[in-house]
Structure 1
């Protein structure tokens, strides 16, 4: 983790920005106000380009286009087979443009290019194809009713959907929301995070090329307090799906309730426990913990940032965790072999550095890192605190950065209570050789996802969501489709019913 020299190490990105305007009704257009905003390169803090800024008037236009496409257009009325065929073509186009999309994601987000190529783009393609395959398999039920009646259910698209995505996995969360909604026959108004608008706009153009009709997918770049607030409170939007912070999710839920009581799906913050029992292979446990904390520079809602280690192996674990983190290659994310790039922006960068100071203030033992790196950009070295206690700020609050907090415990009963002692409930990890211990912990932890002897293993068919203040509902897999469907029951008398 040698100090960076950003001036000499910054690599020219192999990508050209092509799309910077709002995408409404199948066309790229300027915002009504003409306003634009800068999107920054996290490696340097300098502007990449200026992007059109959506505000209430632009949201109104996008919703009007989506409403017309839903009420009168072909998309909800197509056969599921035809919608699926178009989505498969969309997936093929994303795959064909994968190298350019990966480079654009790295340029705008700062994640290592190797990660974008190996994870973000292939997984996005998998998610589109998974949902495309469901498009012609959305069926209701036939009901065997009492008396001389018959009934059946229809699973119908919910309507115009408003979606808002975060900056940590921009292209992946774009497709985790767009593809199930489109598969169900909905129309979409989606807002990208203001920090990372570029891949969403590129994917809007690919939607045109795939044959998605005008108005079905509308992509807006803008800020939460303006465009996001307008989407949340819009009377002509039938459903909201949001991924981001718990604080913003609460505001979105309030706005949805105060408008037309539209349903919401929220995937929000986490402070996930990773529990290492003293029968674990310490080297394997350290590698799993390293992945759980430092993936995407710690900017993962599911990050296993509270590492509970049983007292019998605690000292050995800390020593080996430090040695493993020292091997992390930090640098320009366009450089081959770099594993750890910059944080997303100055605000997040300064927030993480404040939490490092909080850890020191509260008496945690800083055993590695704790510093920024380089003269430009938003680089922070992998950091480890040992001797962390539950009431310390770094153990209670989501940091969203490369900080591992290692806590000591004695018994299973103790770690269950402490693991659940949080407002969040998104994920958890368990490392043990004892299947009985693993099963007991898995059933006792109040979280949406539990990994046993692994971490951050995900798939297009694996539901994601949380308990408590980590969210409402599930995304991905068949569960994700239910967010975008209404169930209608139809009942009629049989031929010999006395009511005829």
Structure 2
């Protein structure tokens, strides 16, 4: 561990409660729940366990603050985000250690998330002053057309456990810039980073009631209660497609605006003309980011039969050289998965693939000892219809399936209900264009295993959801358009 840093010092005795209306308080009834260290199963600390009643009080605070916040000058909103960016950057090591403790990823990888997550605040600090409509003469003459942009209103954000900081800043940043207030429910496995972020935003000058954070293990009751309230105007969710479908159904009665960033089944396509060493480098990034626990993680490796053996052996050598252990320890490359159920799920997919005929190049089992670990694994000759090619793995496993033609690669890549991220390795420019246009995905990485960028629109199609986060497009998710008809004179 680096020095004496552990990250828990970002949280005082009061900041492990609910943050509502600018004040920290206990949950209704005083209920609390434990936050577990996935490296050994021990209890890190406990936090307030909010009730549906607490959720309503948080929405009350957001509604009360909405009008004043919408009237706040864009420059002032942007300056708050800029100060928050600077504070996160100053405390990067502490945030990194806190995330590593509650989520499991290595401190080095957590530092990468801190930089990525903070960048959303800097990006939207600059976008806050660029919200504008348009003015034009009506085509037939006789009147003028004016459009103006207004904040959507109070929002509900439900964030996942795998990126405790970045998935929060990616939603909070554009909402603050647009003039929206919000209630945030972080994942119960990793609530500490969001609590620390709430305290930091208050320090940066965010007014009371703009951001409200309710930690809770009563997830279904929480969302049902808030989505039944006609004062809530927008829901943004990052998580599983199954839960996303529930939230979409619950939104129907109040016709709430939605942004859904859901599951993925990313293909990683390696053509016969690819630079294999570069493809292996990209595969390590696309597969092993977050121990494979990412919706953008490469899930299916579709490799041309002529280079599959070489690719598999080289990837296996790289994966086998990784050190598995506690994320805060020096020299560790791969931390634990989030919980025991995750280990069991990954293990079952590997077992089934081997039963179907796949060959284990490296790994293939969970190591002995405490904690929720799974060894980095590469599988060759995985049948196309094996369950591991259908389900989102969410673990450090790379299943390799071969193909013979470009048409087959595209067909197999698109043969899934999901459409979030995809990766392509080829040195043929014409093929790059053909394949990028043919893939049914919201994002395509060409000769790169890392595609996430705060300046780019992040999101998917099909069962991977709808709406975009990041980029110029991200702030539009939090704005309504009003048309004003004006007489010519």
TM-score, length basis structure 1:
0.94
Paired position in structure 2 for 1:467: 461
Give the distance between the partners of 1:159 and 1:112, measured in 2 at CA: 37
Paired position in structure 2 for 1:232: 227
CA offsets 1:395-454 (integer angstroms, 9 cap, x no match):
011121111110100000111111100000111111111111111111110001111111
Going from structure 1 to structure 2, the CA distance change for 1:443 and 1:222 (only over 3 Å counts) comes to same
2:404 corresponds to 1:410: yes
Paired position in structure 2 for 1:172: 166
Paired position in structure 2 for 1:112: 106
Residue pair 1:114, 1:336 contacting (<8 A) in 2 also: no
How much does 1:236 deviate? 1.6
CA offsets 1:39-85 (integer angstroms, 9 cap, x no match):
100111111111101121011000000001013x3x21011111111
2:208 corresponds to 1:214: yes
Give the counterpart of 1:15 among 2, 7, 10: 7
Give the counterpart of 1:124 among 106, 112, 117: 117
Going from structure 1 to structure 2, the CA distance change for 1:84 and 1:274 (only over 3 Å counts) comes to same
Give the counterpart of 1:457 among 441, 451, 454: 451
Structure 1: 5+ residue runs without aligned partners? 1-8, 496-500
Paired position in structure 2 for 1:82: 76
Paired position in structure 2 for 1:322: 316
Paired position in structure 2 for 1:44: 40
- 1:282-361 equivalences under 5 Å are 282-361=276-355
Paired position in structure 2 for 1:137: 130
Q: Give SS of 1:373's match.
A: coil
Give the distance between the partners of 1:13 and 1:378, measured in 2 at CA: 23
Paired position in structure 1 for 2:370: 376
Q: Which moved more, 1:313-322 or 1:55-64?
A: 313-322
Residue pair 1:331, 1:341 contacting (<8 A) in 2 also: yes
Q: Which moved more, 1:152-161 or 1:455-464?
A: 455-464
How much does 1:331 deviate? 1.3
**RMSD of the alignment, in Å?**
1.6
CA offsets 1:102-156 (integer angstroms, 9 cap, x no match):
1111111001001111x11111221101001111110110021123211201100
Paired position in structure 1 for 2:240: 245
Paired position in structure 1 for 2:57: 61
Q: Give SS of 1:167's match.
A: coil
Paired position in structure 2 for 1:6: none
2:159 corresponds to 1:160: no
2:259 corresponds to 1:265: yes
Paired position in structure 2 for 1:3: none
Q: Give SS of 1:446's match.
A: coil
Q: Which moved more, 1:27-36 or 1:183-192?
A: 27-36
How much does 1:13 deviate? 6.2
Give the distance between the partners of 1:239 and 1:96, measured in 2 at CA: 32
Q: Give SS of 1:170's match.
A: coil
Residue pair 2:5, 2:94 contacting (<8 A) in 1 also: no
Give the distance between the partners of 1:247 and 1:295, measured in 2 at CA: 23
How much does 1:343 deviate? 0.3
Residue pair 1:302, 1:456 contacting (<8 A) in 2 also: no
Give the distance between the partners of 1:357 and 1:228, measured in 2 at CA: 36
- 1:412-431 equivalences under 5 Å are 412-431=406-425
Q: Give SS of 2:155's match.
A: strand
How much does 1:20 deviate? 1.0
Residue pair 2:33, 2:48 contacting (<8 A) in 1 also: yes
2:247 corresponds to 1:255: no
Q: Give SS of 2:24's match.
A: strand
Give the distance between the partners of 1:10 and 1:408, measured in 2 at CA: 43
Paired position in structure 1 for 2:385: 391
Give the distance between the partners of 1:340 and 1:99, measured in 2 at CA: 18
Give the distance between the partners of 2:424 and 2:331, measured in 1 at CA: 29
How much does 1:10 deviate? 13
Going from structure 1 to structure 2, the CA distance change for 1:11 and 1:362 (only over 3 Å counts) comes to farther
Give the distance between the partners of 1:211 and 1:243, measured in 2 at CA: 27
How much does 1:12 deviate? 8.1
Paired position in structure 2 for 1:498: none
Query: What is the total number of aligned residue pairs between the two structures?
Result: 483
Paired position in structure 2 for 1:70: 66
Q: Give SS of 1:51's match.
A: strand
Give the distance between the partners of 1:313 and 1:479, measured in 2 at CA: 39
Give the distance between the partners of 2:296 and 2:31, measured in 1 at CA: 35
2:402 corresponds to 1:401: no
How much does 1:359 deviate? 1.6
Paired position in structure 2 for 1:103: 97
Structure 2: 5+ residue runs without aligned partners? none
Q: Give SS of 1:154's match.
A: strand
Residue pair 1:382, 1:403 contacting (<8 A) in 2 also: yes
TM-score, length basis structure 2:
0.96
Residue pair 2:382, 2:399 contacting (<8 A) in 1 also: yes
Going from structure 1 to structure 2, the CA distance change for 1:12 and 1:358 (only over 3 Å counts) comes to farther
Paired position in structure 2 for 1:202: 196
How much does 1:230 deviate? 2.7
Q: Which moved more, 1:433-442 or 1:242-251?
A: 433-442
Q: Which moved more, 1:220-229 or 1:302-311?
A: 220-229
Residue pair 1:11, 1:334 contacting (<8 A) in 2 also: no
